[in-house]
Amino acid sequence: MSLREEINTEKIPLHVAIIMDGNGRWASKRGFSRLRGHEMGVEAVRQSTEAAAEIGIKYLTLYAFSTENWNRPKFEINALMRLLVKAVNKERKTFMENNIRLLAIGNLQSLPSKSYSELKKAIDDTSGNTGLNLVLALSYGSRWEIVEAARILAKRVAEGSLKPEDISAADISAVLTTASIPDPELLIRTSGEYRVSNFLLWQIAYSELYFTPTLWPDFSKEEFYKAILDYQSRERRFGLTSQQISKHKKRLFN
């Protein structure tokens, strides 16, 4: 039996997020440039996107470029932006053929104009698709996002349309860049690192975390299925006890 056949189709996470890490180390191990690692990482994006779509996941968010990545060498940033434009253009037809809707979160206005315009065109072109929502986190950092959310709410308080004591978790969620996207049930990080690197800090409060030593360019469909199977082996309690969860399930099905 293949790994895909072992997956319980009734327990598929609605939203999976991935920190794609290890492109540089993959390239270094093989004597290649870091850019070659990023280029090979595009295939891993394709593998994960196809796997997610095939098993019925509705949202897949990929941490493609963080706010901290702007501190990398200029030549690498430029190369990454060119790669983004190339990948978006190349995959646009595939998105349409497979009913995939492209979305993006982050400080998108900080992207180079060509990268932003190509990204915006792909988002507009796929806006009517109803299958997998592929979300690219670009120039994204969770602290940046939360600060922006605080500014929006502070402005509402200053204008008198919101009282400080009335601010709720729902109010904060509603002004994040992910306002229209459900929180991820599963967060995957590749390359053997055990940290979340300023990614979706508010949204992953109750996410299951899955760490794998596999470097991102080697992350195949089978690796994706391993993560899903691991997720399905866990009990999601949201602060409750196992006994409470069991009683809740009995009430639902009786």
214 Cβ contact list (under 8 Å, min separation 6) = 22, 190, 191, 223
> What is the spatial distance between Cα 117 and Cα 115, in angstroms, rounded to a whole number?
6
29 Cβ contact list (under 8 Å, min separation 6) = none
89 included as an active-site residue: no
The neighbour count for residue 101, using CB atoms within 10 Å, is 19
Count of H-run helices and E-run strands, the chain = 9, 6
Burial of 54 (0-12, 13-18, 19+ CB in 10 A): middle
Spot the catalytic one: 8, 21, 89, 254. Answer: 21
Spot the catalytic one: 69, 98, 129, 198. Answer: 69
21 included as an active-site residue: yes
Residues carrying an active site annotation: 21, 69
